Structure 1
Amino acid sequence: MCAKKASGSAPNGEAAAPGKEEAAEHDHDHDHEHDEEEGLSEEEKKKIALESYQKAGKIAKEALQRAKAATKVGVKVFDLIADTEDFIVKQGGGIGFPMNVSINNVAAHYTSGARDMTEIEEGMIVKLDLGVHVKGYVADTACTLNFSKNPALENICIASEKSMEAAIDMIKVGAQTNDIGKKINEIIKSYKYQPVKDLSGHSLDRWTVHGTKQIPLIPQPTGQQIEEGDVFAVETFASTGEGQTHPLQIGNIYQLSLRHVPKIRNQAAKQLVGFIIKNYKTLPF
């Protein structure tokens, strides 16, 4: 079992709708990678999964460190994302999801398109969130950078970090996700902030960033049990607002739902769907 060390802080809980205007091409033949596991024993499959998670995690860690160092006042957000994703591919990883750079009251899930001229400025709180996959096994990591001198925001990153660390310590086989949520809520509120209630940590499955299990940021009446083999991304968000998000009317991240692919007659559309399936399967792009 492995966990993602990621924390995000949003001065006001406002979540961006998913989006990305231009999808970068990747040369990984995911169909071939999937076929590699056919006929293998369960132990062999587990070994491939573990090795893939480890490689993805190593690349993700290096990519985040590089992105943190490059995030400076005056840097164009689109260029930061393009450079980071280029590094990931050159290291042998696939893009688990478009890198998110969410600023100030935008809590999560925002990525820049080519027309976005936004630059990092003094006073901003910047959330970096990136994903790397190897053979469909995703490592998901994030951090928050505070360029603000506002005293009210002095401890917001600390609140997120401390609650994240406590949550990671609690992740063990048999633990209940609602108990972890209670601890996250308790720590964030001890710093006089509000947890963002409709964002959460989540399990990671092959070719799936958001799995079926969630680690909430507020107490829940019931939870889910952590089992051997589960993989989690631990995410905590502290807010100076009410801790409630709403979708923005922008978005350029997309994801293919294989359960809802309509019958397509147009040849160009068929080729597009084929390209998406081959290069991304059910990962966001």
Structure 2
Amino acid sequence: MKLKNKSEIALMREAGLLLWKAHMIAAEMVEPGVTTEAIDAEVEKFILGNNATPLFKGVPGKVPFPATCCISVNEEVVHGIPSSRQLIAGDIVSIDIGLKIKGWCADCACSHGVDGLDDEKRALLDVTEECLRIAIKDIRPGEKWSKIAKKMAKHARNAGFSVVEELVGHGIGESMWELPQIPNYFSHNCEDFRIKQGMVLAVEPMINAGVKEVQTLDDHWTIVTADRRPSAHFEHTIAVTAAGAQVMTCGPNGEGWALR
């Protein structure tokens, strides 16, 4: 794990701002009848047009990941592959995008409701985003991650939801995946760490309406809830400064997902 200095964090903020703009393009397209591959194509065009590199496309696996965005619908938790599938009213669509520019990475995800959600899905989105905001509020030098993770998990469980335990956040910098691993819950099996100034963390709560267990589909990428109930996913890239958390993947005035 490499701690970042002020100039490196400034470069990561540039990457994060560009990624926020990519998310705004995606968010404006979320409506019934739009295909997930159409969203992916527009985001890829924007990223490449700004001399940046999509981080997810070509990631190694049994099959290399084929797209710029991970777009996951309803029971799909993460790593959904964009396709000709059309969004319909009432869907949750989670869009995860990563990019690299000037040698530095940014990673961000947001779940959207398509043309109105039922009460359970709306609550799921709200609670998942609130879990991320809990982390942002409490991130500061010297704090133990376990304390924050326990608060996030408690908030989700108190709402009647479950926390995905098989997938976690991560450090980020010149590489998309760096140490430490950042779970959204905490147990004796988790490795704790104390937050330090200069860390940059991709914090990404993944919360399920039903059970916490997940499965991988035959495409080798798409991860779904075991009971096929809905899931939501929010993520920011966050730098740790002397004053606390600095969100890298927000708008120029600190705005987040205004179009959600």
TM-score using structure 2 length: 0.73
Tell me the secondary structure at the aligned position of residue 202 of structure 1: strand
Q: What SS is found at the alignment partner of 1:111? A: coil
Aligned AA (1:206): E
* The structure with more helix, counted as a fraction of residues: 1
SS in 1 for 2:111: strand
Partner of 1:129: 96
Query: Which of 175, 187, 194 in structure 2 is aligned with 1:220?
Result: 187
Equivalent residues in 2 for 1:79-118 (5 A)? 79-97=38-56, 98-112=68-82, 116-118=83-85
Structure with greater strand percent:
2
Aligned to 1:160: 128
Residue 66 of structure 1: how far off its partner (Å): 1.4
Distance 1:173 1:46 in 2: 14
Instruction: Summarize the Cα distance change of 1:156–1:224 in structure 2 as closer, same or farther, 3 Å threshold.
Output: same
Measure, in 2, the Cα distance between the counterparts of 1:165 and 1:250.
33
Contact 1:193/1:240 (<8 A) preserved:
yes
Pairwise CA distance, 1:199: 1.9
Residue 65 of structure 1 is matched in structure 2 by 24
The equivalent of 1:182 in structure 2 is 150
- Among 203, 207, 214, the alignment partner of 1:234 is 203
What are the superposed Cα offsets for residues 84-126 of structure 1, whole Å, 9 maximum, x if unpaired?
11111212322122311011111001222xxx32111122110
One-letter code aligned to 1:105: E
Is 2:12–2:173's contact at 8 Å kept on the other side of the alignment?
Answer: no
Aligned length, in residue pairs: 206
Question: Greater Rg, structure 1 or structure 2?
Answer: 1
**AA in 1 matched with 2:128:** S
Relative contact order: is structure 1 or structure 2 higher (C-alpha 8 Å, sep ≥ 6)? 1
The answer to whether the 8 Å contact 2:31/2:89 transfers is no
Identity fraction in percent: 24
Residue 174 of structure 2 aligns to which amino acid in structure 1? R
Report the alpha carbon displacement of residue 166 of structure 1 after superposing the two structures with TM: 0.5
* Consecutive unaligned residues in structure 1, runs of 5 or more: 1-41, 254-285
User: Aligned letter for 2:143?
Assistant: A
TM-score, scaled relative to structure 1: 0.67
* Cα distance change, pair 203–77 in 1 and its aligned pair in 2 (3 A): same
Stretches of structure 2 lacking an aligned partner (at least 5 in a row): 57-67, 223-260
RMSD: 2.1
